[in-house]
Structure 1
Amino acid sequence: MKGLTEEDILKLLHASDLEVSDEDDSENLFVPENIDASSSDSDEIPVQTASESSRNNNQLKADTLSSAQVLKKKNLSGRKYLQKKKLFKDPFRSSLQYFTTYFTDEFFKTAEEHTSQYTVWKHEKSTKTDGTELKKLMAVNLIMGCIKLPRLRLYWSTEFGYTQVLRIMSGGRFVALRNAFHMVDASCAPGNNNKVWKVQPVLDAVRNVCLSLPWDHVTYSADEQMKQFTGHCPLRQFVKSKPRPVGLKNFVLTTSAGILLDFEIYQGDSTPLQTKEFGLGPSVMLRLAQTSPQEKPGSEV
């Protein structure tokens, strides 16, 4: 097809009904804010100077900080509550500092004694461990809970080995300590019906810190939660309506901000409840309400 010449184009424009005006319609004309409409070169892209770029960056940082301050003022979680009540000296501490608040050096000292006692009683040979090594054992277990591999030995394998685990301890030592770890004297079981007596010191360590939290709310919540667990345990429950249906049932008491204040692991008929004549639900409510301060009447659950 032969291209149109300049004369052909002019003939087509004269023959058409299109009216061309030299005046611009200022109401319908779109002019970008950063481009001068009077510029004669429409293809030129405006270049931002260094000072303008710095001002824009500073404005962006100011807007970001302003948004962060707004979010901080909103009660989106229990963090605002911790900051307001100054439960700890610095509510924004590291994960290790929060961990040591619940599991102190005395806790691991007790674990050291009973772990060595168990290996002597069971194998007539001490593991010769200490509290520092048991802390490393728990650290490896926490890492494995976050970084999951299909086999235990893969954490120490040449191809799939995880560096954080490899630096802490060897695989053989980890297995030996894990099998020997005890918090109580395993050679003499208590006479009561407590089915969680072997891990009772762990539960008490967490519960004692929860009970030390301030009770300065007006409304509280009592409910049951599922601790996800699929291993072998006689207390394992299956609740179809729960997001995590398989695990240990735990009755909890929390504040309106979601902070845990007290809990009780469900053990069936062996659950330590003061009275059971009203049924399980009311009995659990009475059990959790016992820990509330008596000097603050009018609280609602």
Structure 2
Amino acid sequence: MNMLNFTSKPKNPIALSFDIEDWFTVRNMRELINENEWHNQENRLNIGVDFILEELAKKNIKATFFVLGWIADNYPEVVRRISDQGHEIACHGYNHTPIDLLTPESFKEDLTKALTHLENVTGKKIKGFRAPSFSVTQKTSWALPIMKECGLEYDSSIFVTSHPDYGIQDFPTIQTEVNGMTVLPLKKSPLLLGANIPVCGGGYFRMLPYALTKAALRKDLEKGPALMYFHPWEFDPGQPRVKLPPLKRFRHYVGLNSNREKFVQLLNDFEFTTMENLLRLNRTRTVAEYRFANTPALVPV
């Protein structure tokens, strides 16, 4: 009888990523804290970043950091510190505006601005992108050709799930080629009796018992690599409490007090890599193709 060995690490790695934004820049705060007021908020970015970098260094783990251009513009020393420690720097847009709130023209402007600041700070070409709030959906798929036009090599903005703000349920759950752009999607993981649960990070990781997350990830990693994401503010339980609507308050604050401990357990239990390295691993694996009905094919110029 085959039994899972829970004492050894799975052979496939998790592509570990962090969306680098401060507590006041997130979508849940958007209606209460305008971008013009960001400079008046308490900057607590280093609290989470320090914790993340220290824990990764202990395990010699390299990860991908999707950084806001606004962060690179205003706190370049934070971005340099991450880059200097050997982590991959990727783009998270300039000011955390979800793509569904932008036009193609304003998205290209936002992306170009963010890439310019990130590349000026790091001195390196930025290869990857993740849209704020995973906001590449059926309606905003026009953004993918623009990413390609701006020189990006991969995108990780699609979540294979159903959610009020994001998600494409029928998108493939493996690396996928979409009109010339490589997409690394986030997805749910299998658990019991055919049930799939989103344990790949964020509020899901904070809310669910770690034993459940671990079991689902191990099962998922039997088939191939997985992706996970976190934010620095998720490791800062002392951040200011804002009076949010009940659902948004739950999403943002659930599990903050126990998240550091669970994250350290995660680092002990699995192997990790960067998004860039995952692309190299996937060169020998089957990849899918997908075409959005409303996305024109790229035409070489």
TM-score, normalized by the shorter chain, greater than 0.5: no
Q: Which has the higher contact order (CA 8 A, sep 6+)?
A: 2
Q: Normalised by the size of structure 1, how large is the TM-score?
A: 0.23
Q: Normalised by the size of structure 2, how large is the TM-score?
A: 0.23
